[in-house]
Structure 1
Amino acid sequence: MSRRLLLILAACIAVLHFSIIIFMLSPLYSTRSSLYGTRYVSRFGYKHPSVDWCKELKLRIPPSQNVVALVSYPGSGNTWLRYLLQQATGIMTGSVYMDYGLKLHGFPAENVTDGSVLVVKTHETPTTNRKYDSAILLIRNPRDALLADFNRLHKGHIGTAPKSAFKRKSNEHRSSWSKYVSVELTGWESMHRMWLTTFKGPLHIVFYETLVRDTRMTLQRTLDFLNHTVDEEDMSCALAYKEGIYRRKKKYKDFDPYTPNMYVAIQTVWHNVLNMVIDYQRTVQNVTY
C-alpha cells in the first residue's frame, strides 16, 4: 500500500474517531423549548429518540442525607417510573448500574448512588453493604414482568423478542423459555420477600398496574413519600408527557407464550407476594419510623 493511501486511511480513521466522540458528547435529552424537538438526528444520518423534558434536569445540591432505593424486579417499569419522577421534579434519578443506552437517552445520572439523585434504581435484594434509608418497591404482575424482561434480554428496552425465541431450546448462551420462566419466578418471589420482610427502613409500595391506571394519584403518593412537593404545572406537564420513550408497545396481539402449568406457578407466587404486602401493611400501621 502506498504512502498516500496510508495517509488517507489514517485521516479517515481520525475523522471517524472524532465524530464518534462528538456524537457521544451530544445531548440526547432536552427541554420542551429545545431545538432538538422530539427526535435527534446524528451526524451519521440515524434517528435516535430523545426526550422532551418539562424542565432542565439537575442533581440535588446540596445532596440529601436520605438515600432512597427504587426497587423492582427487571421488567416491572422501573425506568418508566424514574422518567415520571424526573419529569415532575426536574431532579435526576440514579442507578446502581451503568446502562449507557439510558445514560445517553434521558438518564444522565446512571451509576450515581448517593443523595444527589432523587432515587437510586436497583434490582438487588437489600444488603448490609449498600445503605438505603428508605425504599420504593415497584411491583408488577410476574406474568407481565417476566415477559417484559425476556423481551429486553432479546431486543433491548423497547423491542420485542421474536416468536422464535420462545420456541428455542436451551444452549450454552441462553436458556429455553420454559427454563427461564421456572428460574425467574423463583427469583421474582425471593426478591420481593426480602424487601418486604428484611428491610428496616420506610418502604413505599407501588403497583405497576395502579401506576398505569391512575398515574396522577400514584405519582403524587410517591412524591409525598419522597417529601417532595411539585406544583400543578409540573404535575400537568409530567402527565402530558407521561408516555416517554421507554414503554414497550405490544407487538403480538394474539400470542401468549405461557402454558397452563406456567399460569398455575405464576398465580401461586403472585398470591404469595400479595399476602406478604398485606402482612407488611398491617405491621407498619403500628410502627413509627
Structure 2
Amino acid sequence: MVRRSILLLAAAVVALYFTIILFMLNPLHGAKHAYYGSGYMNHFAFRHDPPINWCNELRWRNPPSPDVVALVSYPGSGNTWLRYLLQQVTGIVTGSIYMDYGLRVHGFPAENVTDGSVLVVKTHEAPPIEPDKFKSAILLIRNPRDAILADFNRLHKGHIGTAPKSAFKKKTHEHKKTADWSTYVSTQLTVWESLHNLWLTKYIGPVHIVFYEVLVKDTKSTLQGILDFLSYNVTETEMSCALANKEGIYRRKKKHQDFDPFTAEMYKALDQVRNKVLAMVMDYKRRHSNTVTLTKLDTNRIL
C-alpha cells in the first residue's frame, strides 16, 4: 500500500513537471492575461511556430546604458511587433516590466528585465512615481478602435489569435474575468485616454511619439526615427534585413472581415476620445517642437 502511494506520488510529480514545461512552451495563442503576470494560460496545447530568422544574433547591451527607455502603449497597439522590429534591426534584446512566458520562449528572452542592459522596456502603465525609472519614453499610439479590439482578442485568444464572434455577444458573469463587449469598450476607452494623457502631460522626460498606422505604412522612416531618438546607429544592411523580415510571427491575422462589433454609439465615443488625444499630441508638439514632427496632414492619416 505504501509502495503504491509512493508510485502515485512520483507519477503526480512527473505530470506536474511536464505540465510546467508545456506551460513555459505554450505558444503566443494562449497567453491570456500574460501581460500582467496575474493569470495562467487556460490550456497547454503545444504547436510548432515557424522559426524566427534574426538578422543578428540577439545580445544584451554591453556595457549597459545608464538611461532606461520606456516603450509605452495601451495593450493591443503593436508593442510586441515594434519590439520585434527593434530587435531585428539592432540585435539588442528588449525588456518588459511584465513576465510573459509565451513571449520569453518566442523571441523575447529579456522579459521582466527593466535595466539598461536592454534597448527599451515595454510598459502599459502610467508614468512611474520614481522620476529616474525611465529617462525617456517612446509612446506608441494606435487608433483606439483597433487597439481595444486587438486587446479584446488577446484576452480571448492570446497575442496573435482572434476572438470568436460569440465572445462579442456574451454577458458579464461574476466568475469570469472578461466583461461583456459593450462594458469592455466603455471601460477601456477611458483607460486608453488616461494612459496617453498621463504620458503626454505628466511625464517630465522626453517622449518620442510613434503612430502605429504610420509605422505600418512607412516602417523604414518610422523605425529610423526611433533609432535616432535612441541615439543608436545601424547599417543600411541591418535596416534592409529588418525590413525584409518585418512581418515576423507577432502580428495578428485579421479575421471576421464581414463583422463589425462596434455600434454607432461606440463610434461616436471613440471619435471624441481619439480627437482629444490628438489635441494632446499637437499641444505636446507645440511645447516640444524638437521632439515631435507632426503636421496637420499627418493627423488626417493616423488614428
Common fold: TM-score over 0.5: yes
The amino acid of 2:110's aligned partner reads A
1:152 to 154, 164, 171: 154
C-alpha separation in 2, matches of 1:177 and 1:64: 42
Q: CA deviation at 1:169?
A: 1.0
- The SS at the match of 1:52 is coil
Query: Is 1:267 matched up with 2:268?
Result: no
Indicate how the Cα distance of structure 1 residues 16 and 216 shifts in structure 2: closer, same or farther if over 3 A, else same: same
The amino acid of 2:227's aligned partner reads L
1:25-44 matches, cutoff 5 A: none
Q: In the alignment, is the contact (CA less than 8 A) between 1:92 and 1:117 conserved in 2?
A: yes
- The SS at the match of 1:51 is coil
Report the RMSD for the aligned CA atoms in angstroms.
2.4
- The SS at the match of 2:114 is coil
C-alpha separation in 1, matches of 2:21 and 2:160: 25
**Partner residue in 2 for 1:193:** 197
C-alpha separation in 1, matches of 2:46 and 2:122: 33
**Partner residue in 2 for 1:69:** 70
Q: CA deviation at 1:175?
A: 1.4
**Partner residue in 2 for 1:183:** 187
**Partner residue in 2 for 1:35:** none
**Partner residue in 2 for 1:119:** 120
Query: Is 1:137 matched up with 2:139?
Result: yes
1:252 to 252, 256, 266: 256
The amino acid of 1:189's aligned partner reads E
C-alpha separation in 2, matches of 1:162 and 1:127: 36
C-alpha separation in 1, matches of 2:228 and 2:115: 20
The amino acid of 1:65's aligned partner reads P
**Partner residue in 1 for 2:230:** 226
- The SS at the match of 1:285 is coil
- The SS at the match of 2:151 is helix
Unaligned runs of 5+ in 2: 28-44, 292-303
Q: In the alignment, is the contact (CA less than 8 A) between 2:148 and 2:188 conserved in 1?
A: yes
**Partner residue in 2 for 1:243:** 247
Q: In the alignment, is the contact (CA less than 8 A) between 2:24 and 2:101 conserved in 1?
A: no
C-alpha separation in 1, matches of 2:191 and 2:111: 24
Query: Is 1:60 matched up with 2:61?
Result: yes
Q: CA deviation at 1:14?
A: 6.7
Q: In the alignment, is the contact (CA less than 8 A) between 1:52 and 1:241 conserved in 2?
A: yes
Q: CA deviation at 1:127?
A: 2.3
Q: CA deviation at 1:237?
A: 0.9
1:281 to 260, 269, 285: 285
C-alpha separation in 2, matches of 1:257 and 1:180: 12
Q: With the length of structure 1 as denominator, give the TM-score of the two structures.
A: 0.86
Cα deviation code 1:120-171 (max 9, x no counterpart) = 0000011223611000000000000000000000100011011011011121
**Partner residue in 1 for 2:102:** 101
Moved over 3 A (4+): 5-26
Q: In the alignment, is the contact (CA less than 8 A) between 2:64 and 2:116 conserved in 1?
A: yes
- The SS at the match of 2:49 is strand
C-alpha separation in 1, matches of 2:185 and 2:21: 42
C-alpha separation in 2, matches of 1:194 and 1:165: 31
Of residues 56-65 and 135-144 in structure 1, the stretch that sits farther from structure 2 once superposed is: 56-65
Q: With the length of structure 2 as denominator, give the TM-score of the two structures.
A: 0.82
The amino acid of 2:281's aligned partner reads V
The amino acid of 2:96's aligned partner reads S
- The SS at the match of 1:193 is helix
C-alpha separation in 2, matches of 1:66 and 1:279: 26
Q: CA deviation at 1:202?
A: 1.0
Q: In the alignment, is the contact (CA less than 8 A) between 1:211 and 1:219 conserved in 2?
A: yes
C-alpha separation in 1, matches of 2:55 and 2:12: 39
- The SS at the match of 1:206 is strand
Indicate how the Cα distance of structure 1 residues 24 and 267 shifts in structure 2: closer, same or farther if over 3 A, else same: closer
Give the number of the structure whose residues are more often strand, by fraction: 1
